[in-house]
Amino acid sequence: MESPQASTSPLDTPPRAFSQGVGTVFQVAGVLVFLYASFSCCGSGLLSREWATQFTTQGLHGSGWSYSVARAITICVFSAVFFGVASATMGLGLQAEHRSAPIGAVLVSAVACIFFAAHTWFVAAYVHSGFLLLSLGFATILYAVLFALAVGAQREMRRNPPPPGHEVLPADYKIPYSHYHVDPPEVRLAAELEQRRQRLAVQQKEVEMLEEKLKRKLEEPGGD
């Protein structure tokens, strides 16, 4: 006889659950980085002009070139918006189990980590601003963690790749109208009207049968 333990099988874990979880982390992190950069860009308008112009003379300067603090701040804000959108995009690809998504996640997180690490050193050397140093240092640590997660997702995807064409919907697939209803309101209303017509037709037949039965009873002798 089969033992109870053999007949009761545990729930199977999805084959690429870690990669999909990493995709969720990339999406959340990318949205947060994008929002932080956007609000920083918009909020900088509240600062005075003197505060902004003081950084134009500070930074790295050479013969015929310069990399001022003001330019570095502008590039960092622009790059943070780009890396935020790119991270969220890679997160969507990881959740959809695209084969190239882990490679893109590794590249985006690696480049972002190197970029923010270099500018963290730049701020520590030339700006001496605790707020900027904390922001860039946090971004560096964040993308270092994302890089480690992306490497794990790439290994899992290489070890257990998805079947080719798994993201292509079948020809007979019907896109649902919402999470609650498959069909749009017009189709559901037409189906409800058809059901009502069928019920009315059945009721009409029942009424005709009752009328016929009553007519036969009245025609029988002694039916009065």
The pLDDT value recorded for residue 57 is 58
Q: What is the DSSP letter of 10?
A: P
Find out whether 147 and 110 touch, Cβ atoms under 8 Å.
yes
Residue at token pair 């500070």: 58
Regarding pTM above 0.75, the answer is: no
The pLDDT value recorded for residue 122 is 87
Find out whether 29 and 146 touch, Cβ atoms under 8 Å.
yes
Q: Which residue has the higher pLDDT, 206 or 128?
A: 206
The two tokens of residue 31 are 């949205």
Report d(CA 111, CA 104) in Å as an integer.
11
Find out whether 138 and 116 touch, Cβ atoms under 8 Å.
no
The pLDDT value recorded for residue 3 is 46
Task: Report residue 131's pLDDT band, with 50, 70 and 90 as the boundaries.
Answer: confident
Q: Please, what is the Cα angle at 157 between 151 and 162, to 5 degrees?
A: 160
pLDDT at 61 over 80: no
Q: Give 60's strand partners.
A: 67
Mean pLDDT over 50-63 rounds to 60
Task: Report residue 181's pLDDT band, with 50, 70 and 90 as the boundaries.
Answer: confident
Handedness of CA 22, 83, 90, 102 (dihedral sign): negative
Residue type for 170, please?
A: P
- Mean pLDDT of the chain, nearest integer: 82
With 0-12 / 13-18 / 19 or more C-beta atoms within 10 angstroms meaning exposed / middle / buried, residue 85 is middle
CB atoms within 10 A of CB 114: 14
The pLDDT value recorded for residue 31 is 95
| SS3 assignment, position 67 | strand
Cα pseudo-dihedral 74, 76, 81, 85, rounded to 10: 150
Q: Give 66's strand partners.
A: 61
| SS3 assignment, position 68 | strand
Mean pLDDT over 95-104 rounds to 89
